[in-house]
Amino acid sequence: MMVRFDPGEERIAVTRNFRVWEGGGEYNVARGLRRCFGQRTTLVTAVADNPVGRLLEDLMLQGGVDLSHLKWVEYDGIGRASRNGIYFLERGFGNRGAMGMMDRGHTPVSQMKPGDIDWDAIFNTEGVRWFHTGGVYCALSPSTAEVAKEAMASAKRHGVVVSFDCNYRPSLWKASGGRAAACRLNRELAQYVDVLFGHEGDLLDTCAAASGPPWYDSESYEAMSKRIQESFPAIKVIATTIRRPRTANRNDWGAFGFAEGNVFESVKFDDLEIFDRVGGGDSFAAGLIYGLMEHKGLKWALDCGVAHGALAMTTPGDSSMATLGEVERLMGGGSAAVQR
Amino acid sequence: MMVRFDPGEERIAVTRNFRVWEGGGEYNVARGLRRCFGQRTTLVTAVADNPVGRLLEDLMLQGGVDLSHLKWVEYDGIGRASRNGIYFLERGFGNRGAMGMMDRGHTPVSQMKPGDIDWDAIFNTEGVRWFHTGGVYCALSPSTAEVAKEAMASAKRHGVVVSFDCNYRPSLWKASGGRAAACRLNRELAQYVDVLFGHEGDLLDTCAAASGPPWYDSESYEAMSKRIQESFPAIKVIATTIRRPRTANRNDWGAFGFAEGNVFESVKFDDLEIFDRVGGGDSFAAGLIYGLMEHKGLKWALDCGVAHGALAMTTPGDSSMATLGEVERLMGGGSAAVQR
Amino acid sequence: MMVRFDPGEERIAVTRNFRVWEGGGEYNVARGLRRCFGQRTTLVTAVADNPVGRLLEDLMLQGGVDLSHLKWVEYDGIGRASRNGIYFLERGFGNRGAMGMMDRGHTPVSQMKPGDIDWDAIFNTEGVRWFHTGGVYCALSPSTAEVAKEAMASAKRHGVVVSFDCNYRPSLWKASGGRAAACRLNRELAQYVDVLFGHEGDLLDTCAAASGPPWYDSESYEAMSKRIQESFPAIKVIATTIRRPRTANRNDWGAFGFAEGNVFESVKFDDLEIFDRVGGGDSFAAGLIYGLMEHKGLKWALDCGVAHGALAMTTPGDSSMATLGEVERLMGGGSAAVQR
Amino acid sequence: MMVRFDPGEERIAVTRNFRVWEGGGEYNVARGLRRCFGQRTTLVTAVADNPVGRLLEDLMLQGGVDLSHLKWVEYDGIGRASRNGIYFLERGFGNRGAMGMMDRGHTPVSQMKPGDIDWDAIFNTEGVRWFHTGGVYCALSPSTAEVAKEAMASAKRHGVVVSFDCNYRPSLWKASGGRAAACRLNRELAQYVDVLFGHEGDLLDTCAAASGPPWYDSESYEAMSKRIQESFPAIKVIATTIRRPRTANRNDWGAFGFAEGNVFESVKFDDLEIFDRVGGGDSFAAGLIYGLMEHKGLKWALDCGVAHGALAMTTPGDSSMATLGEVERLMGGGSAAVQR
Amino acid sequence: MMVRFDPGEERIAVTRNFRVWEGGGEYNVARGLRRCFGQRTTLVTAVADNPVGRLLEDLMLQGGVDLSHLKWVEYDGIGRASRNGIYFLERGFGNRGAMGMMDRGHTPVSQMKPGDIDWDAIFNTEGVRWFHTGGVYCALSPSTAEVAKEAMASAKRHGVVVSFDCNYRPSLWKASGGRAAACRLNRELAQYVDVLFGHEGDLLDTCAAASGPPWYDSESYEAMSKRIQESFPAIKVIATTIRRPRTANRNDWGAFGFAEGNVFESVKFDDLEIFDRVGGGDSFAAGLIYGLMEHKGLKWALDCGVAHGALAMTTPGDSSMATLGEVERLMGGGSAAVQR
Amino acid sequence: MMVRFDPGEERIAVTRNFRVWEGGGEYNVARGLRRCFGQRTTLVTAVADNPVGRLLEDLMLQGGVDLSHLKWVEYDGIGRASRNGIYFLERGFGNRGAMGMMDRGHTPVSQMKPGDIDWDAIFNTEGVRWFHTGGVYCALSPSTAEVAKEAMASAKRHGVVVSFDCNYRPSLWKASGGRAAACRLNRELAQYVDVLFGHEGDLLDTCAAASGPPWYDSESYEAMSKRIQESFPAIKVIATTIRRPRTANRNDWGAFGFAEGNVFESVKFDDLEIFDRVGGGDSFAAGLIYGLMEHKGLKWALDCGVAHGALAMTTPGDSSMATLGEVERLMGGGSAAVQR
């Protein structure tokens, strides 16, 4: 969980005003599930108790996510021991891509250690049905990868569905082994994963310095998925967004999914107009998880994720401002005519 | 007349700031005729005398429309008896269409009754040349339909040209008979109409639950127009905008018109870039009325309406911010090169 | 619960931009108890299900108040049957007082009827310790007064403390009997009230057209309180804010309270600098209720209420943005020196 | 140097808020060279000493351009004798082109006379390598053309490279001979020019009332360039941007260049998305000058100019907010994918 | 008439955003009479026909002042021949006074000459009851003083009341004789003046370099007024505001008036809180003129002017945003309590 | 050097928008000397090379301070190794004091070590006349205290005047010994200090937990100064601001100074209206240093510092937006009357 500073139409390096939003891969999923899909969600994280932490609380209250598992950590008044993460992200325009800068060293969440959270209590007594985490959290520090593993194992023990978004970010792994280290970790965690957001390049032991996700068709996606499932039989569902940025303002957008030996391709949006692309993938995850939780089938879930992601990219901020009705209308090919 | 609350780049349900504009179908036409086309226009309506009403006055003064026929109604301090209408309208983006919400129950204008306005005095003594009203006003209450009929009949008696914009809005008719009831009313009023903005689906007695206006070519438009004229011989001119929303940001836009047995097709804008589509149709009406008042012929008038509507959709708010020079340049195929 | 439209430094009748906040007497108390004082609070009300209602939800989520008792009512698309209340409030400056305009006719909450809510279930099963309502809710319609009575009686039955803020608003009572009618109702409800926010003028059967609350000293307050308690022995605590507006920017501010035969005077702020005075009384109520719930004694509770109210008036919006630490520092005479 | 008043998404004639930027053809080049390309640049101009002049200073300090050659002229308190230039420029949208209005009469810079500046001292002692001026400055008054000539001659004497941007603006020449007069002047100055930004139409003695720059291919550009060089052998490099505005939001954009008998065509951007097209040409000049100063060859310099210009048009304001890294990435065909 | 650029809380020389308002001494009076006092007013002036002129029109339409006597002058595209005046004005804070900068050279209105306007037609046929002008207009150029004289003489001939606001501005007179020249002109015009806003220092032939207006008591004001009336018997009413700026935020504010041998002192506001002091004097004039036009007596008129001026200084912009009801409430000693 | 995030009228914990400024004790002094007093100043510091660092550069360019001694440090992409400092500061209102939160751990400047900067080169070859540093810089880490000592010693060797602002901040010293440790360091550095901003409490070896600076009169200040000079004979000038915050909006403000055995008291501002108090002390230092550099005497220098500080507190941001003329006018008792 971080505060996002957004310079709107200007750029980070020359603006004088920032709009703030909250963001964070796992949080965005929880918020989407709560605000668009009406599911109760909670967040397990730690926040330094200072005005920025209280701003995060204010933003997350607005997001509707339950905060009873937020751990407030004392602030040292200067930001040496532990501080709240922030990031700056401008949305790009045309040939100038979106650009972001993380400032998330020394956060309380990166200092979490196994044993800090009583996961069994959470999964056992609070009626949790789904647990979602991912590669961003795991990359914060060696101990967060341990915490993630501990949580996933506990969830698994209690029959809670586990989803994991590989979400490789070069800046996070730069100092600790890069993509190869990320893949190594992902392979280790794969035994606990039911639903994987990612692709072969996130798991391969010979994981090359591939820049960006590969581009699939149904056939190649099926082959890839089967290779994954062979090596990691615990994984029941694989889902991968396909995004091709023509410009910052226009992307091709869709997804593939694999379950029970079958490949599904979602509704596709060619030349999708983009307002702020950040959070599109997290909104996809939220929509897909909703579909699976509601037992709608993977094709429906993929469409729901892709439509939710598409709508999330029509508004500023990391999260979606869409309603379930709007998602369903877009899944059904609804036009952009005015409603009044 | 209502205050429009516009959340700009955000959405109604999550914004914290609204830009306000004034809007209303008939008003937008009067404003366009005044500010872009230099015609003197007046508005006959009623407003509750409270700060929101005074804000409406301030906005309408800026619009340049004469306010001497504004009827100020006492406010009860709470909004039970009569209140000023407002609406919320977000402009949409890409695959997310524009979306609006009316909050216009219990307005003074919906409580107007026949006899409240001395139409004969207005049409007889003030040199009025044109009277415009439409389906939105008629739908506010049973008595407003009566008032419209009374006004149109009076205009007709005094040789004032009457134009009527059918402008069917589902939300307004939901509780009072839907599209069928609207068509029934339109048929009754057709005897007073010289210039009709609409199409067959607004007048048919077997008017089906057609969603959205039909899509014409010259031939089908001619056939349709002739059918109308047969049934409603008083109608001299029929004009219909053709809008196909590719996305909220890009529409195809044009118009057909019919007069004296001939069909005209306006200049067409394919893939027109849209900033805020609201009010495009009203700006079309303003341009067309201007063309007809200036005796430029229906083809010119259609082009003028379409160009004015196109320009109105490049700016925020319901109304056009264009000048006559700009409209003429666009009618003439002017490019979007910078002028300085 | 209403959306507040706030023109900031400008005025309602001439602005082009509004900041929105949520507000409402009872809600403000619940929000203050939650955000400043860390108490869990819930709101029982009804909201029309349209984008403005969803904006209210977004604002209330940010406020942290539990929404599980929010009743969503279908919207008719136009605002005839039931609509969400809004109000416009400008904060005033110097010799120009704050000025507000309510537009809250036909709200779902004003259409609530006895039997709509299962109060016994709420008070019996959800661990409620305190119930707060007041004269604004009661004035919305004859049926809301009945609902309030029903709720207060139920709370009383279940041993829940009942507080009632008389909060007379001329605009609300104008059409239904004015101050005399309000007093009559208050007298009827007084049997259920443990903690009364108000003064003799809210209860008197000879209640004159007093403009504004009276100005007390300890002696006159004690006499007044004893007269109230004689007539209404159920009332255990009486609390009254004392505000003397020198200008819109500077007020004298304090409170008196009475309990168990003793009068207490709060810390007083003479010439208090005011940013936005709206909600000061509600924030007082929140602070006082907190003090009483924490068994701090009435003097402490009065000081807490007055300090919380004072801080609430240093920020825009109806509600406080203060923390408990800031309230305690101000109660203790803390200076306005910078903290860093 | 002028203050630009920018109405953002609205229009000059109806807005209530302006964002200010600094702008001016020659200045934009100097700013681009400083902020994007890290070159030290200075500006020789005159500014009236009043708050608007100080605002210009504040804006230019931010721009990083050295101000030691700024001449401060006393202000008469009312703007009769000499005043700072301003201009209003809206960015256009879709079919509505960008539109500007100059208010730059009576500026100190237009009152500069030969002899006011000791050009020899500047070029001799301050290590200047490049001098850039152009047609806008020359058009301000008869004396500025003289000053430009004096400066160019001095630069030439000291071995400083001279570039000249013809930059014909109808409004500036309207009262003093139009395009023919501009061409006449350009022909006179051509003897001092090493690098010419412009085309044949800026130099022809039979210069017709061509509207807009011509559209070249490699062949016609080579022929044109050779004709220029025959008549004006001092000119070593000719560079011409090619812009075809499809709409205000989308332009085709590229450039041709000629040096040592060879023609080069830059990378081309078809259907380039434009946020604010103003300053694109100046940013092209900055990039090209950088390339030539760094001895990268004309092809590289053209690409650099075109990419820098393209990026400058993705942000508001006249100047680029891009970094050298971004320019190089775009020259190399970099995609618009997010960077984080 | 000028566009005012207002940097809000910041300062002209460092801001990046300006709010625009319209302003001008005589215009502010006409606007106040129209919007607060409901009188029909018109403005005789000239405006250059460019987007800034159209912005002025838009602002003046909002102001409600009739524009049928606005003379549109062709713009030369660059601002050499004639241009619209602008000014920059920051409101000050505490010990930092409000500060303004005029940029109004070469305006069409300063180029008006006797004979340009058919004053007799205006005063004879349009039912004008009152003509107001003043020292600012007269100072624009030698010819504007002539035009003012011509207009005043014509008004006098047609029995129209003439008021004149001396309103000495050092910057306007700096180049043409300073205060002595202003006094000389005022003495010449005094024969046409019925109502004088000013004081002895505006008329004296030995007019010293007094800084700021003098500070009167009833006695000295009476003596001063009698001296004026002796020399200028045509003047029937003299009115003078008394403002003592303690800080930019707090002024003492009141007025003295003299008529038919009697002195009146207005209601006084000591330590009046000021938001934006600009236009206070013009709003005073509007209120006083209203009082005299309504035959309320000079004492009432003074109170009305002072209260209107006080309210005008509680809002941004040059003009009042007050209503007549608010003026009357403040004249009657109304408190700053909230109204809702 | 840090970016300041300023929530304007709202509070850090609930706002959605931040205005950014640059700030930092020593920087603010350099900026004031440059922008208000026209001195050339440079800053020796280190900044991480990321978009926030570039924003700092953009802000400092605007501030006019020379950046040639800025050391750019590589960024790790996540903020673990070194990151740019930021702080959040809200300005307070009335009884709610200004409140700030530092987030400046792990900054490059805190990682500077003796030997990193060639101070002798700077002081020897660049014509430096004055070196200013202070307690904030020294508190960043043990090594920064060493760097400060190294720089002060070098300055001293080269005859550069050294000033030192004790500027005790509890949050900075909390983890490293608190006030006692700060005093110990100050005593060690005192041998290099010519001009001390501070008081006895900053140097005492028995330095108690005094909260806030003491309140002096001339006599006690003289006694205190003499005690300091006895122990630290190198110190030639002592200067101490006296601020008594009545509320966040109103402070008493003045200063005492001591030189050559004499005490001077500055002009005093009682009940000074404050917009944003942050940076008042730094602006005082800038004004005093200017006075001493210009050899105006300590009384003049104190007045200059106090007036500059007073003006700096009338505008948002840490730094002054005042001009030298305004400072001199305020020193001379200038009123807050409008200037135009």
- Condensed to tens digits (0 to 9), the pLDDT of residues F223-279 reads 999 999 999 999 999 999 999 999 999 999 999 999 999 999 999 999 999 999 999
Q: What CA–CA distance (Å, rounded) separates A161 from A176?
A: 29
- Minimal-distance CA residue of chain E relative to B35: E58
- Cross-chain residue pair F94–C338, CB shorter than 8 Å: no
Mean pLDDT for chain F overall: 94
Going by the DSSP 8-state scheme, the letter that residue E64 receives in this structure is T
D23 and D4 Cβ atoms separated by less than 8 Å: yes
Contacts of F338 in chain E (CB under 8 A): 92, 97-100, 245, 277-278
| Nearest CA-CA partner of F19 in F75, F72, F59, F47 | F59
Going by the DSSP 8-state scheme, the letter that residue F105 receives in this structure is T
Tell me how close the Cα of C87 comes to any Cα of chain A, in angstroms: 22
Confidence band (pLDDT; 50, 70, 90) for A107?
very high
User: pLDDT (tens digit, 9 = 90+) per residue, C124-137?
Assistant: 999 999 999 999 99
> What was the pLDDT predicted at F339?
64
> What was the pLDDT predicted at A335?
63
- Minimal-distance CA residue of chain C relative to B58: C14
> pLDDT 10s digit of each residue in chain D, 340 long?
899 999 999 999 999 999 999 999 999 999 999 999 999 999 999 999 999 999 999 999 999 999 999 999 999 999 999 999 999 999 999 999 999 999 999 999 999 999 999 999 999 999 999 999 999 999 999 999 999 999 999 999 999 999 999 999 988 898 889 999 999 999 999 999 999 999 999 998 765 544 456 679 999 999 999 999 999 999 999 999 999 999 999 999 999 999 999 999 999 999 999 999 999 999 999 999 999 999 999 999 999 999 999 999 999 999 999 999 999 999 987 666 666 5
User: pLDDT (tens digit, 9 = 90+) per residue, C175-208?
Assistant: 889 999 999 999 999 999 999 999 999 998 765 5
- Cross-chain residue pair F101–A172, CB shorter than 8 Å: no
Going by the DSSP 8-state scheme, the letter that residue F50 receives in this structure is S
- Selecting from B51, B58, B81 the residue whose C-beta is nearest the C-beta of C101 gives B51
Contacts of D214 in chain B (CB under 8 A): none
Q: How many contacts, defined by CB atoms under 8 Å, are there between B and D?
A: 77
Residues in chain D, overall count: 340
Residue ranges of the alpha helices (H) in chain B? Answer: 25-35, 51-63, 119-125, 135-138, 142-157, 170-173, 178-189, 218-231, 280-293, 298-312, 324-331
Q: Answer yes or no: is pLDDT of A329 > 60.
A: yes
F17 and F8 Cβ atoms separated by less than 8 Å: yes
Mean pLDDT for chain E overall: 94
Q: What CA–CA distance (Å, rounded) separates B178 from B198?
A: 17
Q: Which two tokens stand for residue C182?
A: 């309000």
F268 and F243 Cβ atoms separated by less than 8 Å: no
| Nearest CA-CA partner of B330 in B309, D256, B315 | B309
* Buried/exposed E72-91: b ≥16 CB within 10 Å, e otherwise: ebebbbbbbbbbbbbbbbbb
Q: What CA–CA distance (Å, rounded) separates F208 from F199?
A: 13
Residue ranges of the alpha helices (H) in C211-336? Answer: 218-231, 280-293, 298-312, 324-331
Q: What CA–CA distance (Å, rounded) separates C291 from E73?
A: 70
B246 and B253 Cβ atoms separated by less than 8 Å: no
- Minimal-distance CA residue of chain E relative to D13: E55
Q: Which amino acid is at D51?
A: P
User: pLDDT (tens digit, 9 = 90+) per residue, E242-294?
Assistant: 999 999 999 999 999 999 999 999 999 999 999 999 999 999 999 999 999 99
Contacts of F40 in chain D (CB under 8 A): none
pTM of this prediction exceeds 0.90: yes
> What was the pLDDT predicted at E209?
46
Q: Answer yes or no: is pLDDT of C329 > 60.
A: yes
Higher pLDDT, B339 or E275: E275
> What was the pLDDT predicted at D211?
47
Q: Answer yes or no: is pLDDT of B274 > 70.
A: yes
Q: Answer yes or no: is pLDDT of A10 > 60.
A: yes
Rounded to the nearest 10 degrees, what angle do helices E298-312 and E324-331 cross at?
Answer: 110
F225 and F238 Cβ atoms separated by less than 8 Å: yes
> What was the pLDDT predicted at D176?
87
What ipTM did this prediction achieve? 0.94
Q: What CA–CA distance (Å, rounded) separates D321 from A11?
A: 7
Touching partners of C (3+ C-beta pairs < 8 Å): A, B, E, F
The residues with which A238 forms a beta bridge, in sequence order, are: A196, A258
Q: What CA–CA distance (Å, rounded) separates E273 from D19?
A: 29
Q: Which amino acid is at D1?
A: M
| Nearest CA-CA partner of C228 in C249, C250, C202, C210 | C202
Touching partners of E (3+ C-beta pairs < 8 Å): B, C, D, F
Contacts of D61 in chain F (CB under 8 A): 61-64
- Cross-chain residue pair A61–C58, CB shorter than 8 Å: no
- Minimal-distance CA residue of chain F relative to A89: F51
Q: What CA–CA distance (Å, rounded) separates E318 from E21?
A: 7
> What was the pLDDT predicted at C80?
94
Q: Which amino acid is at B13?
A: A
> What was the pLDDT predicted at F171?
85
What average pLDDT does this structure show over A115-121?
A: 97
> What was the pLDDT predicted at C206?
63
- Cross-chain residue pair D172–E79, CB shorter than 8 Å: no
What average pLDDT does this structure show over B85-102?
A: 96
Q: What CA–CA distance (Å, rounded) separates F128 from F126?
A: 6
Half-sphere exposure of D66 (CA within 13 A, CB side): 10
Q: What CA–CA distance (Å, rounded) separates E93 from F315?
A: 8
| Nearest CA-CA partner of A336 in D29, B249, D137 | B249
Contacts of D9 in chain B (CB under 8 A): 275, 315-316
Tell me how close the Cα of F172 comes to any Cα of chain A, in angstroms: 6
> What was the pLDDT predicted at A175?
84
- Minimal-distance CA residue of chain C relative to F7: C315
Going by the DSSP 8-state scheme, the letter that residue F9 receives in this structure is T
- Cross-chain residue pair F248–C322, CB shorter than 8 Å: no
Confidence band (pLDDT; 50, 70, 90) for A211?
very low
Going by the DSSP 8-state scheme, the letter that residue E110 receives in this structure is G
CB-CB neighbours of B206 under 10 Å: 6
Q: Answer yes or no: is pLDDT of B209 > 80.
A: no
Q: Answer yes or no: is pLDDT of F211 > 60.
A: no
> pLDDT 10s digit of each residue in chain E, 340 long?
899 999 999 999 999 999 999 999 999 999 999 999 999 999 999 999 999 999 999 999 999 999 999 999 999 999 999 999 999 999 999 999 999 999 999 999 999 999 999 999 999 999 999 999 999 999 999 999 999 999 999 999 999 999 999 999 988 898 889 999 999 999 999 999 999 999 999 998 765 544 456 679 999 999 999 999 999 999 999 999 999 999 999 999 999 999 999 999 999 999 999 999 999 999 999 999 999 999 999 999 999 999 999 999 999 999 999 999 999 999 997 666 666 5
How large a percentage of chain B has pLDDT more than 90? 91
D85 and E86 Cβ atoms separated by less than 8 Å: no
Tell me how close the Cα of E272 comes to any Cα of chain C, in angstroms: 7
Q: What CA–CA distance (Å, rounded) separates A14 from A175?
A: 29
Residue ranges of the alpha helices (H) in E135-260? Answer: 135-139, 142-157, 170-173, 178-189, 218-231
Q: Answer yes or no: is pLDDT of A340 > 70.
A: no
User: pLDDT (tens digit, 9 = 90+) per residue, C82-122?
Assistant: 999 999 999 999 999 999 999 999 999 999 999 999 999 99
